């Protein structure tokens, strides 16, 4: 064993003597520049934080006593005076970020978005392709906003309603945002302004997407999952209910029965599987794609709707079979990804963890950047740790 | 001791790094005060340490190499800012220790990710080579040995692997290693002995499995 030990040490030393190949000078320089700016950004971010200080134990004791007294005083003070409206300058905070997103603030240079960052009124968020950011708005709706890749959105608030509460409004220039809004008090709403329309809600879950149109301009798509949404476009006001979707190209609400893809039918399934839902609007086909696939869309819709209805009725096996049929027959369908996601969720709901993990792995291999990748990874890992 | 160069090595003229303009104390002071202009200075001083450590531990520059370089630099800055660097060793040694940890974590996470998500990766190829190619000579090639070594290190406890890497791979003295891992010299010595034994046992088992496979019809 002694010789074996020495051999292990020799191998370790051999690893330490590996010759590191040089990079081309231009690549070296570009890497140096990138790393230096990354370190500078980090230092700038740290500058924005209060300095980290270590207090001695005695000072901590005294500090705790003072803090307790202050807390009592503030508590009493708050009880005796009316609640204050939060400062309107902070309109949201970043819950999570993946990929690269930039925050553009008037008077400052653009900076990278990071978790827990505060977003101020009129700040603009720009996400790069494949990036994603989740924000919690501070307005009356306490809305959650999911910002998809390639999106530019400005956040703002205004005082509205009888109690002058903060009402959120977003200006979506490009890309996709998905919002979940709690029921708002009367007189208050949440608006998303796009180049083509203004979408106002009073407690719902919906998505708005702005895409470039040919030869110029933009097209706005709206999809509603829950509640009612008011769309005001060129003076025409349209109300959309659950399952409805609208496009500024057609300017008329489309019902579920139409041979156009449903925008977010997962809400029904989510009620049963009790899981957070990502909307399928990101996978909304363009009108051209919809025309090309028109012959099969109705059947794809029918299969998908049937699967969700069966899942809703607790018939999990037939629902799983429907979803499998949809994937097998129409592997290129924009609904195929949703079907895969629904399959691993339903499998998990049915208690078949191993099959759910396997399905989640299949989903990850087919859609490595898919909208449910985090959830699938968690499930795949669970499946690995606790095989059945 | 001078190491003989392999025969296929080609020598070329390399531009030397320009000298750092700040001394180490001033650089550390600036980092602790969050001076946002020190990125270039820090990179100039530590890039070869970070890059070299990552290359040696990981064995190659993969697609995420630059990401790991960036993570290492961020960890270095944060550790200095948060006062974790006690200045009992040089900044370069501290940087190589942090980078070593980043690299070990990367090996572990790559192993998990590939096992789970890369459909082209043979899961068994990441574990003991029981079903690999049947040419034992090829299996025992130097590069393969080091890859196996990396695999075994990623399987060991973090404390043991870190101690082995710092002492035996990066060449830190025992006292220095003890400072870097935050343990006493005696505890570090014990970890070193246990780590080497465990690593040797793993290599031994691996070889036996290979030989059995080679002997099988």
CATH of the domain at A102: 2.60.120.1440
Is A16 close to B169, i.e. CB distance below 8 A? Answer: yes
In B, which residues are within 8 Å of A384 by CB distance?
Answer: 112, 115-116
pLDDT over 90 at B50, yes or no = yes
How many separate domains does chain B show?
2
Is the pLDDT at B183 greater than 80? The verdict is yes
Q: Which of B10, B43, B197 to mutate to test the interface with A (most CBs of A within 10 A)?
A: B43
- The answer to whether position A262 is within a domain reads yes
- Claim to verify: residue B89 and residue B134 sit in the same structural domain: no
* Within-domain flag for A69: no
Helices (H), B132-216: 136-139, 142-155, 158-164, 174-181, 185-215
> Token match 């014990």: residue?
B190
| Average pLDDT for B82-91 | 85
pLDDT at residue number A84: 45
Binary contact (B116, A46; C-beta < 8 A):
no
Kindly report each contact of residues A48-55 with a partner whose C-beta sits within 8 Å and lies 24 or more positions away, as own/partner. Answer: A52/B81, A52/B82, A52/B83, A54/B83
In a domain? residue A75: no
Put simply, the chain B residues between 108 and 147 with a CB less than 8 A from any chain A CB are 112, 115-119, 142, 145-146
Contacts of A47 in chain B (CB under 8 A): 34, 36
A32 pLDDT more than 50: yes
Let me know whether A189 and A277 are in one domain. Answer: no
pLDDT at residue number B189? 93
B7 to chain A nearest CA, in Å?
14
Token look-up 């025409």 returns A236
Q: Give yes or no for B20 touching A (CB within 8 A).
A: no
Nearest residue on chain B to A14, alpha-carbon basis:
B169
**CA dist B128 to B131, B145, B149, B202, B209, Å?**
8, 12, 11, 10, 8
Does B4 contact A at CB distance below 8 Å? no
- Exposure of B18 by Cβ count < 10 A (0-12 exposed, 13-18 middle, 19+ buried)? exposed
B136 shares its domain with B88 = no
Partner residue facing A37 (CB), from B31, B39, B78: B39
pLDDT band at A278 (very low <50, low <70, confident <90, very high): very low
Residues A198 and A319 in one domain: no
A285 in the same domain as A242:
no
Q: How far are the Cα atoms of A71, A85, B87 from residue A76, in angstroms, in the given order?
A: 9, 18, 48
pLDDT at A236: 73
Residues in A 34-73 with any Cβ partner in B closer than 8 A:
34-44, 46-47, 52, 54
**Residue A246 φ then ψ, to 5°:** -145, 145
Nearest C-alpha neighbor of B24 from the set B83, B69, B80: B80
Say if B37 is an interface residue toward chain A (CB within 8 Å): yes
For chain A, how many structural domains are there in total?
A: 2
CA distance linking residue A335 with residue B216, whole number of Å: 49
* Domain contains B2: no
Chain B residues with CB-CB distance to A22 below 8 A = 12, 14
Q: How far apart are CA B149 and CA B138, in angstroms?
A: 16
Residue A47, domain member (yes or no): no
Domain limits for position B162? 123-217
Cβ proximity of A155 and A119 under 8 Å: yes
**Does the residue A319 lie in any domain?**
yes
Query: Are B100 and B160 in the same domain?
Result: no
Domain presence at residue B17: no
The 3-state DSSP class for residue B67 equals helix
Among A47, A138, A133, which Cα is nearest to A95's? A133
Residues in A touching B43 (Cβ below 8 Å)? 32, 35-36, 39
Residues A236, A251 contacting (CB under 8 angstroms): yes
> Is residue B189 within 8 Å of B168, Cβ to Cβ?
no
Looking at residue B66, which CATH number applies to its domain?
1.10.1740.10
- 3-state DSSP assignment of residue B194: helix
DSSP string, A248-312: TTT-S-B-TTSSS--S-THHHHHHHHT-----SGGGPPPHHHHHHTHHHHHHHHHHHHHHHHHHH
Cα gap A266→A243, rounded to integer Å: 10
A89, A234: one domain: yes
Residue B145 sits in the same domain as residue B198: yes
Q: What is the 3-state secondary structure (H, E, C) of A52-69?
A: CCCCCHHHHHHHHHHHHH
Whether the full predicted model's pTM is greater than 0.80, yes or no, is no
Determine, yes or no, domain membership for A33. Answer: no
**Alpha-carbon distance A56 to nearest alpha carbon in chain B (angstroms):** 15
Q: Do B15 and A25 touch (CB under 8 A)?
A: yes
Our CA-based measurement puts residue A49 at a distance from the nearest CA of chain B, in whole angstroms, of: 10
Q: Is B90 helix (H, G, I), strand (E, B) or coil?
A: coil
Q: Are residues B117 and B158 in the same domain?
A: no
> How many residues comprise chain A?
388
pLDDT (mean) for B133-138: 47
pLDDT tens digits for range A103-130? 888 767 788 888 778 888 778 888 888 7
Nearest CA-CA partner of A221 in A194, A242, A258: A194
Amino acid B142: pLDDT: 60
What is the phi/psi pair of residue A135, to 5°? Answer: -120, 150
| Range A232-238 average pLDDT | 75
> Quick one: pLDDT band at residue A388, thresholds 50, 70, 90?
very low
Closest to A49 in 3D by CA, of B81, B84, B71, B26: B81
Is the Cβ pair B74, A39 closer than 8 Å? yes
Is the ipTM higher than 0.95? The answer is no
Instruction: Single out the residue of A301, A229, A220, A198 nearest to residue A259, CA to CA.
Output: A301
Write down the pLDDT at residue A165.
66
Smallest CA-to-CA distance from A3 within B197, B209, B56 is with B197
Query: A334 and A348: one domain?
Result: yes
What does chain B come to in residues? 217
CATH number of the domain enclosing B154: 1.10.10.10
Indicate which of B12, B36, B76, B194 best probes the interface with A, i.e. most A CBs within 10 Å of its own CB: B36
**Same domain flag for A218 and A309:** no
Highest mean pLDDT among A141-145, A380-384, B101-105: B101-105
Residue ending a domain, among A196, A225, A255, is: A255
Residue at a domain's end among A225, A255, A285: A255
**CATH code of A371's domain:** 1.25.40
Cβ atoms of B52 and B46 within 8 Å: the answer is: no
A8–B3 CB contact, under 8 Å = no
């Amino acid at each position: 064993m002694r010789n074996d030990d020495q051999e292990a040490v020799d191998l370790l030393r051999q690893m330490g003597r590996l010759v590191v190949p040089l990079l081309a000078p231009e690549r070296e320089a570009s890497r140096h520049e990138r790393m230096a700016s990354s370190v500078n950004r980090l230092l700038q971010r740290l500058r924005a934080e209060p300095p980290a200080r270590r207090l001695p134990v005695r000072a901590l004791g005294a500090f705790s006593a003072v803090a307790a007294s202050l807390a009592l005083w503030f508590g009493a003070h708050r009880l005796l005076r009316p609640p204050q409206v939060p400062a309107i300058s902070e309109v949201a905070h970043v819950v999570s970020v993946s990929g690269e997103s930039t925050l553009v603030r008037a008077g400052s240079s653009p900076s990278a978005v990071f978790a827990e960052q505060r977003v101020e009124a009129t700040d603009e968020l720009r996400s790069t392709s494949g990036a994603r950011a989740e924000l919690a708005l501070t307005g009356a709706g306490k809305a959650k906003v999911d910002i998809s890749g390639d999106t530019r959105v400005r956040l703002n608030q205004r005082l509205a309603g009888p109690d002058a509460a903060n009402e959120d409004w977003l200006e979506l220039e490009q890309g996709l945002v998905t919002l979940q809004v709690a029921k708002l008090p009367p007189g208050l709403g949440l608006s998303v302004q796009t180049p083509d329309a203004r979408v106002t809600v009073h407690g719902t879950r919906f998505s708005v997407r702005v895409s470039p149109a040919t030869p110029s301009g933009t097209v706005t798509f709206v999809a509603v999952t829950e509640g009612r949404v008011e769309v005001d476009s060129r003076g025409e006001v349209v109300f959309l209910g659950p399952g409805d979707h609208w496009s500024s190209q057609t300017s008329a609400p489309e019902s579920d029965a139409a041979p156009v893809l449903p925008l977010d039918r997962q809400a029904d399934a989510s009620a049963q599987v009790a899981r957070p839902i990502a909307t399928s609007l990101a996978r909304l086909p363009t009108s051209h794609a919809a025309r090309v696939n028109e012959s099969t869309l109705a059947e794809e819709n029918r299969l998908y709707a049937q699967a969700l209805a069966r899942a809703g009725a607790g018939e999990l096996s037939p629902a799983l079979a429907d979803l499998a049929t949809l994937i097998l027959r129409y592997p290129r369908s924009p609904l195929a990804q949703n079907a895969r996601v629904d399959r691993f969720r339903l499998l998990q709901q049915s208690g078949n963890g191993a099959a759910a993990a396997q399905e989640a792995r299949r989903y990850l291999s087919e859609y490595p950047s898919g909208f449910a990748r985090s959830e699938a990874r968690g499930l795949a890992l669970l499946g690995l740790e606790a095989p059945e | 001791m001078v190491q003989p160069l392999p025969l296929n090595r080609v020598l070329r003229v390399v531009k030397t790094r320009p000298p750092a303009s700040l001394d180490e104390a001033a650089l550390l002071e600036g980092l602790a005060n969050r001076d946002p202009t020190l990125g270039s200075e820090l990179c100039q001083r530590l890039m070869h340490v970070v890059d070299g450590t990552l290359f040696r531990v990981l064995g190659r520059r993969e697609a995420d190499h630059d990401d790991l370089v960036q993570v290492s630099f961020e960890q270095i800055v944060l550790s200095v800012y948060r006062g974790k660097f006690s200045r009992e060793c040089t900044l370069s040694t501290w940087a190589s220790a942090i980078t070593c940890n980043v690299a070990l974590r990367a090996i572990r996470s790559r192993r998990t990710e590939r096992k789970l998500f890369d459909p082209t990766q043979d899961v068994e190829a990441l574990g003991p080579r029981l079903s690999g190619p049947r040419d034992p000579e090829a299996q025992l090639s130097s590069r393969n040995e080091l890859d196996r070594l990396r695999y075994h290190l990623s399987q060991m406890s973090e404390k043991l692997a870190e101690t082995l890497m710092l002492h035996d791979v990066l060449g830190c003295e025992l006292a220095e290693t003890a400072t870097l891992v935050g343990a006493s010299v005696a505890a570090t010595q014990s970890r070193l002995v246990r780590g080497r034994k465990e690593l040797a046992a793993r290599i031994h088992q691996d070889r036996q499995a290979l030989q059995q496979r080679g002997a099988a019809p």
